[in-house]
Chain A
């Protein structure tokens, strides 16, 4: 019988993690910034994929499972226009529920099509999970046109609720899985050798050869300098693997959270600078770690009056 209270405790811990009350403003800021960034980072002519010869078509697993063929130019053109509209509507929060759902379904489809030519890539996986999480959420309850319209009709501003915490936590878990996977993959494939050998130095030198990424050369050639300092490379490699493997602690440990999150952000920035990998939209999702309601509160206290409409019913 003693098992039941413990199950109840575990359930409470689960509920606290996902559903502890949070301000709708925080999620509203995340929605506004995320969809704005997604609109920029996914601004790509998907319709061009219709022109590629069928010899390159190698559908990913779920496209193959659903029996979907290479789409026509018309379908892709229409899909991308609706996708962009949905992202813009989600950003400003108008018809938010419909817009976020459309953004999720069309975004997943269009992004996945890129990987049906030449193999998959994980750079934009995080977007899909963020889109899914926001599509299921009440992210339009603050800082949105929908909220403004509801306020005009006399509706009260929403109170803090668990509904405004879990969508952000889903993105946190997605990022934690990404970093943990990256750390474990390195240890699995190269073992301690990833740190103790010259693996990172070799990657740094390779990145300066146009072997793979002629479109994504490193921003700087500092990698060549780093590669000549083997102990520095090994220290950076050790730091990277440690950071990646321990990143899930950021979900639970409040003191470690800023260290791990800021550390991971600068690590990815460094990778982009010297290795050339493009993490644009992944890095944009770090915005989910920022407590925007507290930032707004800080601006209200120290910033010029009127910068943030304090307590405004329409924009809560």
Chain B
């Protein structure tokens, strides 16, 4: 009986400790690490310390830890509630009804290793998905094959739309610019390549990365063209443009974006693609 009374108290104490850790202890530790105090291994975890303030890391921490702590708190409160006999009885009855009650044939007992394997797979998947949902990593930054499925979850800006796109400059007279879409840049499609450009432009050595990326697109275009993957003109250069569309409800402006040149690589002096 004593243990039963003690359980909810311990659970609630655990929740209190969790929140103290999330809100006070961890931010203090992050500030210390940012200032160069504490274990070197942990200091290395703060990538880009020279560019961001300590408060940036605290904000990122709180953005991820608070939802996770909220999920754990709900689970802990549920566990605490289930220590009350009446609540536990109602829960068991609800689960019994929900899973079909007595109407389903009695299961044959499967072998124990099989049951453990199934339970492990179910817990791994459901647990991983819930953790992903709680920490909510950025779009395209999921811990694949776990995902929180956040596609279409944000409130999009209606107008203007902005995107980075590579164009090839043909070696013709006069030269033309052609959009390097999926068939020219396989195995990429437009969206996958766009994610890479967006990453490159945020890096400190953006110029080198953009040049290496464009040189790689040019190299693969010519390789695929020479291999007969498509019929297209040879290219003398590849350019990356920032395209901006002023959106209207009938999409009448879709073929007339404004263009701003971001980077250009010429075939004659293309850098060797590298990391």
> Which chain A residues have a beta carbon within 8 Å of chain B's beta carbons?
2-3, 6, 9-10, 13, 15-21, 44-46, 48-49, 51-58, 60-62, 108, 112, 114-115, 117-122, 125, 128-129, 132-133, 136, 161-163, 166, 170, 173-174, 177-179, 181-182, 184-186, 188-190, 193-194, 197-199, 202-203, 205-206, 208-216, 221, 224, 227-228, 252-254, 275, 277
* 24 residue pairs bridging A and B, Cβ less than 8 Å apart: A6-B88, A6-B89, A16-B107, A45-B187, A53-B215, A55-B212, A118-B195, A119-B196, A120-B141, A122-B144, A122-B147, A125-B144, A166-B118, A181-B148, A186-B153, A188-B153, A202-B155, A205-B247, A206-B161, A209-B247, A211-B163, A212-B163, A213-B189, A224-B249
A6 CA / B90 CA spacing, docked (Å): 11
Q: Which residues of B contact A122 (CB under 8 A)?
A: 142, 144, 147, 149, 151
Contact with A along B169-210 (1 / 0, CB 8 A): 000000000010110001111111111100100000000010
Q: Which residues of B contact A178 (CB under 8 A)?
A: 129, 147, 149
Q: Check B153–A189 contact: CB distance below 8 A.
A: yes
Which 7 residue pairs spanning A and B have beta carbons closest together?
A119-B140, A53-B216, A53-B273, A118-B192, A122-B147, A185-B153, A214-B190
A18 CA / B193 CA spacing, docked (Å): 42
Name the prevailing secondary structure of the A interface residues.
helix
> Which chain B residues have a beta carbon within 8 Å of chain A's beta carbons?
67, 85, 88-89, 92, 95-96, 98-100, 104-105, 107-110, 114-115, 117-118, 121-122, 125-126, 129-130, 132-133, 136, 139-158, 161-163, 179, 181-182, 186-196, 199, 209, 212-213, 215-216, 219-220, 223, 243, 245, 247, 249-251, 254, 273-275
Q: Which residues of B contact A52 (CB under 8 A)?
A: 187-188, 216, 220
Q: A190-B154, A212-B191, A216-B189 are in contact. Are A133 and B121 (CB under 8 A)?
A: yes
Q: Which residues of B contact A208 (CB under 8 A)?
A: 251, 254
Q: Check B251–A224 contact: CB distance below 8 A.
A: yes
A128 CA / B193 CA spacing, docked (Å): 24
Closest A residue to B220 by beta carbon equals A51
Q: Check B196–A182 contact: CB distance below 8 A.
A: no
Tell me how far the C-beta of A297 lies from the nearest C-beta in chain B, rounded to whole angstroms: 17
Tell me how far the C-beta of A217 lies from the nearest C-beta in chain B, rounded to whole angstroms: 10
Interface centre among A118, A206, A275 (most CB of B within 10 A): A118
A133 CA / B191 CA spacing, docked (Å): 30
Closest B residue to A193 by beta carbon equals B155
Q: Check A174–B125 contact: CB distance below 8 A.
A: yes
A129 CA / B161 CA spacing, docked (Å): 36
Interface centre among B89, B147, B249 (most CB of A within 10 A): B147
A259 CA / B19 CA spacing, docked (Å): 40
Tell me how far the C-beta of B188 lies from the nearest C-beta in chain A, rounded to whole angstroms: 7
Q: Check A17–B275 contact: CB distance below 8 A.
A: no
Q: A57-B275, A177-B125, A189-B150 are in contact. Are A202 and B156 (CB under 8 A)?
A: yes
A275 CA / B182 CA spacing, docked (Å): 18
A18 CA / B109 CA spacing, docked (Å): 11
Partner of B213, one of A9, A55, A128: A55
A125 CA / B251 CA spacing, docked (Å): 32
A63 CA / B247 CA spacing, docked (Å): 39
Q: A48-B186, A53-B212, A161-B108 are in contact. Are A115 and B129 (CB under 8 A)?
A: no
Q: Check A121–B152 contact: CB distance below 8 A.
A: no
Q: Check B144–A15 contact: CB distance below 8 A.
A: no
Q: A49-B187, A227-B249 are in contact. Are A214 and B254 (CB under 8 A)?
A: no
Tell me how far the C-beta of B80 lies from the nearest C-beta in chain A, rounded to whole angstroms: 15
Q: Which residues of B contact A190 (CB under 8 A)?
A: 153-155
Q: A178-B149, A181-B132 are in contact. Are A13 and B96 (CB under 8 A)?
A: yes
Q: Check B153–A119 contact: CB distance below 8 A.
A: no
Tell me how far the C-beta of A79 lies from the nearest C-beta in chain B, rounded to whole angstroms: 14
Closest A residue to B197 by beta carbon equals A118
Q: Check B158–A53 contact: CB distance below 8 A.
A: no
Tell me how far the C-beta of B62 lies from the nearest C-beta in chain A, rounded to whole angstroms: 15
Q: Check B95–A10 contact: CB distance below 8 A.
A: yes
Partner of A118, one of B98, B130, B158, B188: B188
Tell me how far the C-beta of A13 lies from the nearest C-beta in chain B, rounded to whole angstroms: 4
Tell me how far the C-beta of A2 lies from the nearest C-beta in chain B, rounded to whole angstroms: 7
Q: Which residues of B contact A45 (CB under 8 A)?
A: 186-187
Interface centre among A3, A120, A221 (most CB of B within 10 A): A120
Q: Check B107–A184 contact: CB distance below 8 A.
A: no
A259 CA / B28 CA spacing, docked (Å): 50
Q: Check A211–B181 contact: CB distance below 8 A.
A: no
A202 CA / B182 CA spacing, docked (Å): 25
Q: Which residues of B contact A16 (CB under 8 A)?
A: 99-100, 104, 107
